[in-house]
Amino acid sequence: MSDTPALYEGKAKILYPTEDPDVLLTYFKDDATAFNAQKKGTIVDKGIINCEITTHLFKLIAQKGISTHYIDRPSPREMRVKAVQIIPLEVVVRNIAAGSLCKQTGLAIGTVLPQPLVEFYYKDDAMGDPLLTLDRLYLINAATAAEVAELQTKALEIDRILTDFFGQCGITLVDFKLEFGIDKSGQILLADEISPDSCRLWLADESDPVKRILDKDRFRQDLGQVENAYQQVLDRVRSHS
């Protein structure tokens, strides 16, 4: 962990400045929260695991032509990233119904969606990250119409890349959350992380609805074997990278 005072501390990561104003250092913590931090805990070595998984996935996404803020990984829990202005939206892509989609629509968990669903949530902990309509998003100037179109295109392309990659790993990508930022040249970059904290990942060849879960739902729902699940995702991602 850097000695420099942090720029920002979030629930799972700390952001530090570096000597270069265009570069920041992200430190991945073991802290885990759920339900807007009403539930708190620790997942041993989560920071190391999520930092490595994010590194593999950001490199893969960049190879496929989508720019990310990733620069390198100077230590197991640290990632150097390009400084960006984060767009205050959580972009969620869903392939299979789970989580809040089931709660809010009545769709049965596991329902395969006819096409991927892209949703925008307002990134504001005090408000509990509410789901936005496009009109509300424009009303509060969270992004422009051109930015929304670009986010949607990038999110769907990332979904194709990750669905294919996780499929090779024997894992079904149920849904996931992305964050994007704008760099000093005005380019939109994929930012934050992609890990079992921010995705729902199910073992493809396991039909048991609890045994198949390899993501933060194990922590959210007190299902046990959380560390084991995160490690399994890392092992599979590593061996297919």
In the complex, the residues that contact ligand TMP under the rule CB under 6 A are: 92, 98-101, 129, 175-177, 198-200
Query: Across the chain, where does the E strand assignment appear?
Result: 8-9, 13-17, 23-28, 31-34, 39-42, 70-75, 78-82, 85-86, 89-96, 112-122, 171-182, 188-191, 199-203
Residue 149: burial class (beta carbons within 10 Å; 0-12, 13-18, 19+): exposed
For the bound state, the minimum distance from the C-beta of residue 23 to ligand TMP, rounded and expressed in Å, comes to: 25
Q: Are 130 and 122 in contact (CB under 8 A)?
A: yes
Minimal distance, residue 19 CB to ligand TMP, in Å: 31
For residue 40, the cross-strand partners are 33
Closer by beta carbon to ligand TMP, 6 or else 107 = 107
Position 167, amino acid: G
- Comparing CB distances to ligand TMP, the nearer of 11 and 17 is 11
Nearer to ligand TMP, 72 or 180 (CB): 180
Q: Closest approach of Cβ 184 to ligand TMP, in Å?
A: 26
Q: Which is nearer to ligand TMP, 60 or 96 (CB)?
A: 96
Phi-psi region of 69 (alpha: psi -120 to 50; beta: other; left: phi over 0): alpha
Residue whose beta carbon is closest to ligand TMP:
99
Residue 10 CB, shortest distance to ligand TMP, in Å, is 11
Considering the complex, state which of residue 41 and residue 74 has its C-beta at the smaller distance from ligand TMP.
Answer: 41
**Angle at 191 (CA atoms; ends 237, 54), nearest 5 degrees:** 15
Q: Is 40 helix (H, G, I), strand (E, B) or coil?
A: strand
Q: To the nearest whole angstrom, how small is the minimum distance from the Cβ of residue 220 to ligand TMP?
A: 9
For ligand TMP, the closer CB: 78 or 129: 129
Least gap, CB of 18 to ligand TMP (angstroms): 26
Of the candidates 68, 27, 59, 60, the residue with the CA atom closest to the CA atom of residue 46: 27
